[in-house]
């Protein structure tokens, strides 16, 4: 199995690159952000619970996303592999994921960390906001998403570095070029 985490700050291109990666490597794609947006659109109880937090750029609770991940994992155990996009976003989530993978006898192949300087990220997200319709692609929410990233998500990098799982990838350039960078790393794992 090929089990990958695509890591990176908001706007790094995780969603875009995931679409190419899942296709090429036939992976089961798990984007907690996408699943939560679907819940909001469907106006489920969970959707209503997280709507405000997401539109303001905050993080939803570790328990909520853990439940989403466990459902997806357990339903797709025969898959060639998993691609996690936007998860884990806290060290607690990384620990939960370790436990869950152990429970289902799955092992993490690697963490690909897309590296993009912050000024480019904000530009990209504001551009995306013009067409994405995402409630959190506005300047105030973007600022808060970065604060959350710095405070809670960045420490996840050190967690995986200590385990020898971290693989930085240059996330600046044209989309196909970045995809090539990612594939090179994956094919050497
Ligand atoms: P994304 O589509 O990955 O940019 O996620 C959009 C929003 O969904 C984030 O800003 C958070 O509010 C929420 N979210 C997505 N994944 C997580 C997660 N792993 N932990 C907490 N909140 C999350």
CA–centroid distance, 33 to ligand 1, in Å, is: 4
User: For position 31, which CATH number holds?
Assistant: 3.40.50.300
Residue of 12, 30, 32, 156 to test ligand 1 pocket, by largest number of atoms within 8 Å of CB:
32
Collapsing DSSP to helix, strand or coil, 113 comes out as strand
What is the average pLDDT across 12-38? Answer: 97
CA–centroid distance, 2 to ligand 1, in Å, is: 23
Based on the number of CB atoms within 10 Å of its own CB, is 98 exposed (0-12), middle (13-18) or buried (19 or more)?
middle
Is any ligand 1 atom within 6 A of the Cβ of residue 148? Answer: no
Domain count, the chain: 1
Read off the pLDDT of residues 36-73 as tens digits, 9 standing for 90 and up. Answer: 999 999 999 999 999 999 999 999 999 999 999 999 99
Does position 10 have pLDDT exceeding 90, yes or no? yes
CA–centroid distance, 59 to ligand 1, in Å, is: 6
pTM check: above 0.75: yes
Is any ligand 1 atom within 6 A of the Cβ of residue 68? Answer: no
Is any ligand 1 atom within 6 A of the Cβ of residue 141? Answer: no
Does position 132 have pLDDT exceeding 90, yes or no? no
What is the average pLDDT across 134-143? Answer: 92
CA–centroid distance, 37 to ligand 1, in Å, is: 9
Read off the pLDDT of residues 89-99 as tens digits, 9 standing for 90 and up. Answer: 999 999 999 99
Does position 78 have pLDDT exceeding 90, yes or no? yes
Is any ligand 1 atom within 6 A of the Cβ of residue 54? Answer: yes
In ligand 1, the atom with minimum distance to the C-alpha of 85 is 3
**What span, in angstroms and rounded, lies between the C-alpha atoms of 158 and 164?**
10
- Report the candidate in 110, 84, 94, 61 with the shortest Cα–Cα distance to residue 15: 84
Q: Is the peptide bond before 88 cis (omega within 30 degrees of 0)?
A: yes
Q: What is the pLDDT of residue 133?
A: 86
**Pairs from 68-72 (Cβ < 8 Å, separation ≥ 24):** 68/30, 68/32, 68/35, 68/36, 69/30, 69/32, 69/96, 69/97, 69/100, 70/100, 72/28, 72/30, 72/35
CA–centroid distance, 86 to ligand 1, in Å, is: 6
**What is the extent of the structural domain holding 149?**
2-188
Is any ligand 1 atom within 6 A of the Cβ of residue 60? Answer: yes
């Amino acid at each position: 199995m090929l089990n990958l985490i695509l890591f990176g700050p908001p706007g790094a291109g995780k969603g875009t690159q995931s679409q190419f990666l899942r296709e090429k490597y036939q992976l089961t794609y798990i984007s907690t952000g996408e699943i939560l947006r679907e819940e909001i659109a469907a106006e489920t109880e969970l959707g209503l619970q997280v709507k405000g937090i997401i539109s303001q750029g905050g993080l939803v609770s570790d328990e909520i996303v853990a439940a989403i991940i466990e459902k997806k994992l357990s339903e797709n155990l025969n898959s060639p592999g998993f691609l996690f996009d936007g998860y884990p976003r806290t060290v607690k989530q990384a620990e939960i994921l370790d436990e869950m993978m152990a429970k289902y006898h799955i092992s993490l192949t690697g963490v690909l960390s897309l590296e993009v300087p912050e000024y480019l990220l904000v530009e990209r997200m504001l551009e995306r906001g013009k067409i994405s319709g995402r409630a959190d692609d506005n300047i105030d929410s973007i600022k808060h998403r970065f604060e959350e990233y710095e405070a809670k998500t960045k420490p996840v990098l050190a967690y995986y570095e200590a385990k020898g799982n971290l693989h930085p990838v240059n996330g600046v350039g044209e989309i196909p070029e970045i995809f090539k960078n990612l594939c090179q790393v994956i094919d050497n794992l």
